[in-house]
A and B are shown apart, each in its own frame.
Chain A
Amino acid sequence: MQGKCGLFFTTYRAEAQVFPSGFQKSMVGLFLAILCAVPFVLNTHLTSIVNLVFISVIGAVSLNLLTGVCGQISLGHGAFLGVGAYAAGQCSVHGVPFPLAILTGGLVTALVGMVFGVPSLRLKGIYLAIATLAAQLVLEYVFLHGGALTGGSNGLLLKPPSILGFAFDSEIRMYFLLLAFAAGALLMVTNIMRSKYGRAFVSIRDFHLSAEIVGVNLFRYKLVAFGVSSFLAGVAGGLWGHYTGYISAEQFNIGLSISYLAMIIIGGLGSVLGSVFGAVFIVLLPEVLNALANTLAGFWPGIALHVVAMREGVFGLVLILFLIFEPEGLAHRWRLIKAYWKLYPFAH
């Protein structure tokens, strides 16, 4: 399967490639081909779950850029998604074309994110976490009491998105739209991470004082991290709003922020692939629990009443167990599995 034993680079260019080996390239191509075939095999319900996974992937990878790569803990990511959803939604309601609406949503969120990122210059670690928690709660209040801007407690109703007259009005059509956005977001973050900016972010995460001494402008790079991360969060929010066709303030509560943090922790901090794993895991978890409850309903009739409470408990339990037993997340496990099979059957 593999030609040479290992990879030997002779140029920096070759080393900096996203997919250095031909084998990897073909595997990624194969995976994309499978992804394109998937919606024709799955039923509507399953396709809708995969669509939610795509949206969560965008949100998770954006949070991972901020928290995992740059080390700035944000408990307000859910509210940033909300800002994007409302901004893009308002644009759509006023007749702005869909791609422009999403872009505006992203830019508005980037601006809001940078405003809340300003304290990050003075605040570190838990203090920043608490400041972003405040941002989350203040934004939630604005969503609920924003009057005509957010529709208050009535929320906003949106039509399905359309590009140049082609309406994305079914799950399958939405699937390809969201797939394109998710792939774009992953590519964007991967590229940021191997650029000058990505290396600066990592240096800030590892130790901010050292970073500053070697010439990284802390304030500028932290603001950029907040800006880019919030931009992607805004895009994810805008897509989510257009996908469900309805935006309400309850969607973007603190629970959403926590589940995004859970995604990047379960997936693996600072890893693009980890964000994908985490998003898949957290979106599938409640669905699997529901399916399990439905199968068990025959033996235990009252279970349906307890599913909501159990879902939260299982979520917390999974989070705790991952932090204790697999602190580096699924991405780490994936690396171990790959290493095992690379050396198979001579693994020691």
Chain B
Amino acid sequence: MEYYLQLIVNGLVVGSIYSLVALGFVVIYKATKVVNFAQGELVMAGAYVCFALTVQFHIPFVWAFLVTLVFSVLLGLVIERMVLRPLIGEEHISVIMVTVGMSSVLKSVVQLFWGTQIRVYPQVLPTEPVVIAGLPVAPVYIAAFILSALLFAVFSVFFKFSHMGVAMRATAFDQQAAQSMGIGIKNIFAMSWCIACVVSAVGGVILGNINGINAHIGHLGLKVFPAVILGGLDSLLGAALGGLIIGVLENVCDGAARQLLGLGGFREVAAFIVLVVILMIKPYGLFGTKEIERL
């Protein structure tokens, strides 16, 4: 029983990172209808920049973190302006493939600068585990969970009450109507990429503090798909819940497969089997908007 409880706790932590990355994905999809296959690479970029600042340039962690966020905003602006804007109005496949191409480029740049070996972050938080409900939990896990929850709260409020947030929701609902009401669509698109880059970078930094980073953490981006499909592609709450559920589910399935069937590496596919099942039963997820097509 304790084995599974531990799996669930680990799942929640991994899931909170999935939620963060999924949040970035959903913000982009909501505002621009772009399916971003480079979300994992945005995580990677943020993680490596923060790593370089703290370890290679010896900047205190807090400052490095802030500089990373600024860098992410710039990265988002550059991506939106250079890559995505020329493709506004193109077919799904073109937009998907341009983000795939972007992910290749980002991966390649990171490999050129930092190689492929695992890099370890300096210890920021104490390492002695905190005991919660009889289970030892590392402080960095708790910090990760709290930080994710905090970001979600901030963005929920942002979308609900701020001027920009309301404008973004309006754009998501109907681009033409929003434009005719005086909302600058291009600014909204740029803003959504910036937000996505920033939350991804935060996810990357958290991930770096937990496991260290290597050039393969971009694979995380694929795990986002089960999470967002489960939650609904355009729902913030869905992203949060979907990420957590997928995180727990894949950890528990992996543990169960290991213990009961002796199968290794089930973690990689468990989420995707769930994904196929959801797509068959409820393609618009828990909270997604159903698409209506007319002739």
B276 within 8 Å of A by Cβ?
Answer: yes
**B54-98 Cβ-contact flags toward A at 8 Å (1 or 0):** 000000000000000000000000000001001100101110111
Assembled-state Cα–Cα distance A67/B94 (Å): 12
Assembled-state Cα–Cα distance A137/B226 (Å): 12
Nearest Cβ on chain B to A86's Cβ, whole angstroms: 17
Q: Specify which of A125, A261, A327 is in contact with B92 (CB 8 Å cutoff).
A: A125
A32 within 8 Å of B by Cβ?
Answer: no
Q: Which of A293-328 contact B (CB under 8 A)?
A: 306, 308-320, 323-324, 327
Q: Which residues of B contact A316 (CB under 8 A)?
A: 100-108
Known: A129-B35, A313-B109. A319 touches B92 (CB 8 A): no
- Determine whether the beta carbon of A320 is less than 8 Å from that of B276: no
Assembled-state Cα–Cα distance A125/B34 (Å): 12
**B24-39 Cβ-contact flags toward A at 8 Å (1 or 0):** 0000000000010000
A100 within 8 Å of B by Cβ?
Answer: no
Known: A141-B269, A317-B105, A323-B101. A122 touches B283 (CB 8 A): yes
- Determine whether the beta carbon of B98 is less than 8 Å from that of A138: no
B18 within 8 Å of A by Cβ?
Answer: no
The interface centre, meaning the residue of B101, B106, B112 with most chain A CB atoms within 10 A of its CB, is B101
Q: Which residues of B contact A320 (CB under 8 A)?
A: 83, 98, 101-102, 105
Q: Which residues of B contact A324 (CB under 8 A)?
A: 83, 86-87, 98
- Determine whether the beta carbon of B96 is less than 8 Å from that of A134: no
Q: Which residues of A contact B268 (CB under 8 A)?
A: 137, 141
Number of interface residues of A (CB under 8 A): 45
B118 within 8 Å of A by Cβ?
Answer: no
**A133-163 Cβ-contact flags toward B at 8 Å (1 or 0):** 1110110010011000000000000000000
Q: Which residues of A contact B83 (CB under 8 A)?
A: 320, 324
A269 within 8 Å of B by Cβ?
Answer: yes
B217 within 8 Å of A by Cβ?
Answer: no
- Determine whether the beta carbon of B279 is less than 8 Å from that of A309: no
Assembled-state Cα–Cα distance A244/B98 (Å): 31
B182 within 8 Å of A by Cβ?
Answer: no
Q: Which residues of B contact A19 (CB under 8 A)?
A: none
Chain B interface bracket (under 10, 10 to 19, 20 to 34, 35 or more): 35 or more
- Determine whether the beta carbon of B280 is less than 8 Å from that of A309: no
- Determine whether the beta carbon of B276 is less than 8 Å from that of A138: yes
Assembled-state Cα–Cα distance A320/B102 (Å): 7
Nearest Cβ on chain A to B81's Cβ, whole angstroms: 12
Q: Which residues of A contact B275 (CB under 8 A)?
A: 130-131, 134
Known: A123-B283, A310-B108. A134 touches B35 (CB 8 A): no
Chain A interface secondary structure, helix, strand, loop or mixed?
helix
Nearest Cβ on chain A to B230's Cβ, whole angstroms: 11
Nearest Cβ on chain B to A153's Cβ, whole angstroms: 11
Nearest Cβ on chain B to A144's Cβ, whole angstroms: 7
Q: Which of B92-144 contact A (CB under 8 A)?
A: 92-94, 96-98, 100-109, 111-112
Q: Which residues of A contact B222 (CB under 8 A)?
A: 133, 137, 254
Assembled-state Cα–Cα distance A133/B35 (Å): 13
**A255-268 Cβ-contact flags toward B at 8 Å (1 or 0):** 00010011001000
Q: Which residues of B contact A254 (CB under 8 A)?
A: 222
Q: Which of B170-200 contact A (CB under 8 A)?
A: none
Assembled-state Cα–Cα distance A28/B254 (Å): 55
Nearest Cβ on chain A to B40's Cβ, whole angstroms: 12
B1 within 8 Å of A by Cβ?
Answer: no
- Determine whether the beta carbon of A138 is less than 8 Å from that of B273: yes
Known: A316-B102, A319-B98, A323-B87. A122 touches B265 (CB 8 A): no
Q: Which residues of A contact B269 (CB under 8 A)?
A: 137-138, 141
Known: A209-B295, A309-B112. A127 touches B96 (CB 8 A): no
Q: Specify which of A122, A129, A313, A327 is in contact with B104 (CB 8 Å cutoff).
A: A313
Nearest Cβ on chain A to B10's Cβ, whole angstroms: 21
Nearest Cβ on chain B to A76's Cβ, whole angstroms: 11
Known: A130-B229, A144-B265, A258-B100. A265 touches B276 (CB 8 A): no
The interface centre, meaning the residue of B92, B108, B263 with most chain A CB atoms within 10 A of its CB, is B108
The interface centre, meaning the residue of A265, A309, A327 with most chain B CB atoms within 10 A of its CB, is A309
- Determine whether the beta carbon of A323 is less than 8 Å from that of B92: no
Residue of A nearest to B98 (CB): A323
- Determine whether the beta carbon of A265 is less than 8 Å from that of B104: no
Q: Specify which of A119, A126, A131, A137 is in contact with B35 (CB 8 Å cutoff).
A: A126
- Determine whether the beta carbon of A119 is less than 8 Å from that of B276: yes
A-B contact pairs, 30 of them (CB 8 A): A119-B276, A119-B279, A122-B279, A126-B35, A126-B92, A126-B96, A127-B279, A129-B93, A130-B275, A134-B276, A137-B269, A141-B265, A144-B265, A145-B263, A210-B295, A213-B295, A261-B93, A265-B97, A309-B108, A311-B108, A312-B108, A313-B105, A313-B108, A315-B104, A316-B102, A316-B104, A320-B102, A320-B105, A324-B98, A327-B94
